[in-house]
Structure 1
Amino acid sequence: MVELNEHRLDTLFHALGDATRRQMLHELAEGERTVSQLAEPFAISLAAASKHIKVLENAGLMKREVQGRVHICRLEAGPLASAHEWLAFYEQFWTSRLSALDKLLREDARKSSENKGEDK
C-alpha cells in the first residue's frame, strides 16, 4: 500500500465524516455555489455554513474566491484521490476474502451434491 500522509488523510476523512459537508461537496460537483447557496438546503446560518466550508478548505476539497461581498466556492476533487487510494487497499482485501469464501461455498455445494448422488 502506498504510504499516504496520515495528517492529510485524517483531515480529509474528518471533512468527509459529516453529512452536511458531503452534501455541500455534492452540490459543488454540479458547479460553483455561493456560501448562501450551500447553506440554503440545511437551514443553517451563514456562520455555521462558513465553519463547514473552512473544514472543506482545510482538507483541500474546495476553494473559495471572494468577489466583493460574495464568496464563490468551487470543488477541488484532487484530494479525493487520496481517499480512494486508501480505500482501494481495503477493497482488494475484501475482494480476495469474498473470492475465497465463494470458492469454499462452491466446493462445499459440489461435495454435497456428489454425496446426494451416492446415497441413491
Structure 2
Amino acid sequence: MSEDIEVIPVTIDVTDDAMTAMAGAMGGAEDGDVLVVSVLGGGCSGFMYDLQIQTRPDDDGWQFISCDGITIAVHDKDSKQLSGITLDFVNSLMGGGFKVINPNAQKACSCGKSFR
C-alpha cells in the first residue's frame, strides 16, 4: 500500500556542541556511514526522534545533508516534520544527549525527544 507524501527539501542546523558530539560518535564509524535522523511513532507526545549511525542508504527516497565532513540522512517520508530542525547536544546532571529543536512541532515534551 503506497501513500502519497509531501516531500520538501530538508535543511538542518547543527550547533557546535552537537557537531563535537557527532564527530566523537562517528569517529569509529566506517567510511560511508551516516547519521540517520528519523521520526517514529510513540513517545509522550505522539512522535519521537530517532538518531542512528548506519551505512549510507542507497535506495531512493533519501536526502543527504553534509555538515563539516559528517553526512546526515533524512528519508523523504520524514522531510516535512524534520526540515528546519536544529540538532543540539546538552549536558545535564542526568547525563548528556542530543536534543532536537523543531519549529514544526505543535507541542514538544520537556525531554526534547518527543513531539506532536
TM-score range, shorter chain: under 0.3
TM-score normalized by the length of structure 2: 0.24
CA radius of gyration, larger in: 1
Bigger relative CO (Cα 8 Å, ≥ 6 apart): 2
TM-score normalized by the length of structure 1: 0.24
Q: Which has the higher strand share?
A: 2
